[in-house]
Amino acid sequence: MITTDLVALEERYGAHNYHPLDVVITRGEGVWVYDVDGRRYLDCLAAYSAVNQGHCHPRILHALTAQAARVTLTSRAFRNEQLPLLLERLHSLTGMDLALLMNSGAEAVETALKAARKWGYTVKGIPDGQAEIIVCANNFHGRTIAIVGFSTEEQYRQGFGPFAPGFRVVPFGDIAALEQAITPSTCAFLVEPIQGEAGIIVPPEGYLRAAADLCKRHDVLFIVDEIQSGLGRTGRLFAHQYEDVTPDAMILGKALSGGFYPVSAVVSRREVLGVFKPGDHGSTFGGNPLACAVARAALDVLEDERLPERAATLGAEMLEKVRAIASPVIKEVRGRGLWIGIELHEAARPWCERLAARGILCKETHDRVIRLAPPLVIAREEIDWAVNEIHQVLTGAR
Ligand SMILES: *Cc1c(COP(=O)(O)O)cnc(C)c1O
């Protein structure tokens, strides 16, 4: 079937909760994807950073097919031989004591929220039912009812209330506001080290350091959502490492599976995930052997191919090249590693459509920002080609 037929089927029978570009992908390899009409595109979104390792990485593919032929799901009613190996790997990779495996990012965020509240009651001694969690304005942590309940994006909330109480919102990057919001009932501060969906917003230097210190002083858990910023995207394994802080808990997802399978995790100090007792929390698919085998291979690829280092070097070069584009539609270019936001003076969607027509796939975020986040395996020549196309499109040369 060709693009128009497939788009028509999807529009007719699917819920319209997305507004995708009309590019119907049939195959992917490394940084490239191919549509059903035979056109080739450089993927500059990488599935919101889930495909940092590149599409269909052969090592991860091998881990997937080998494990799929052995056993895929045992449930946590029994043990499987892959989970312990991934847990040990996450420990050595992050230095954290404990990990808990889930599937989607939102589920891992929910898991962290539950752990934080229970820690608040059982360890900190917050009176029952009073625990509060502080989050940031313009956050993105997923789409469950609890999570959209503390979003500041009206569309994410509209029509989905009533919401869970116990959340307080402070401006991102504002340490004084965070200090003012902390009360004896605060159990945690949940923050993205760089806000991705908000448009690649990098906080002022020293913010994470100051926030971590503040949390420590007030016995508040400092929890970082590294689902999109983590696993190499920013040029470090984790974005919070730029400020040399140690969070109490960290949430991972997306690239944890290299895009093959939904795998997410919370990793933490012993005291945090240690609050869970048998029966407190769970997931049928969480920690299944297929997911664990895939995740271990995905982490091996990140490490062996030195993808964070690539993101640091190539990202700095790419940022410089994008900043050099002189176009009246560009308001600001910002980013870290291979994660670049081009903020425009106008809606970004038509520009993304023009870029797609030139063979570059990217997606607008927050109306006016073009996010560039290619797989970290991208080559310098591919970056140069992409930047040249972006230049031509944004300066109206084509
Ligand atoms: C994508 C994302 C999530 C949600 O992950 P899903 O797998 O879509 O549920 C949460 N937090 C951040 C920072 C994200 O980028």
Which residues of the chain register pLDDT less than 50? none
Same-domain check for residues 276 and 390: no
Claim to verify: residue 208 and residue 350 sit in the same structural domain: no
Mind telling me the catalytic residues?
A: 140, 225, 254
**pLDDT score, position 1:** 86
Residue 355 half-sphere exposure, CB side, CA atoms within 13 Å? 27
Q: Are residues 261 and 152 in the same domain?
A: yes
Contact 190, 113 (CB under 8 A): yes
Cα–Cα nearest to 337, from 230, 186, 246: 230
Token duo for residue 209: 């350091």
Alpha carbon nearest to ligand 1 atom 7, residue: 105
Which distant-in-sequence residues (6+ apart) come within 8 Å of 281 by Cβ? 100, 111, 114
Q: What pLDDT is recorded for position 398?
A: 55
Domain end point (choices 281, 304, 327)? 304
CB 238 within 8 A of CB 206: no
- Same domain? 78 vs 198: yes
Instruction: Output the pLDDT for position 366.
Output: 87
Tokens of 146: 């609890």
For residue 292, report the distance from its CA to the centre of ligand 1, in Å: 19
Q: Could you give the CA distance from residue 391 to residue 398 in angstroms, rounded to a whole number?
A: 10
Indicate whether 281 and 324 sit together in one domain.
no
Ligand 1 centroid, distance to 74 Cα (angstroms): 26
* Ligand 1 nearest atom to the CA of residue 139, by list position: 13
**Ligand 1 binding residues, C-beta < 6 A:** 48, 104-106, 109, 140-142, 192, 196, 225, 227-228, 253
With beta carbons less than 8 A apart as the criterion, state whether 299 and 256 touch: yes
In the listed set 279, 304, 329, which residue is the last one of a domain according to the structure? 304
Same domain, 52 and 96: no
Q: For residue 328, what pLDDT is reported?
A: 95
Owning domain of residue 349: 3-56+306-394
Shared-domain flag, residues 299 and 160:
yes
Count of structural domains, the chain: 2
Minimum-distance ligand 1 atom for the alpha carbon of 195: 13
Question: What are the tokens at 79?
Answer: 């043990």
- pLDDT at site 131: 98
Element holding 64 (H helix, E strand): helix 58-68
Domain check: are 80 and 229 in the same one?
yes
Do 244 and 358 belong to one domain?
no
249 and 278: one domain?
A: yes
The domain boundary residue, chosen from 273, 304, 335:
304
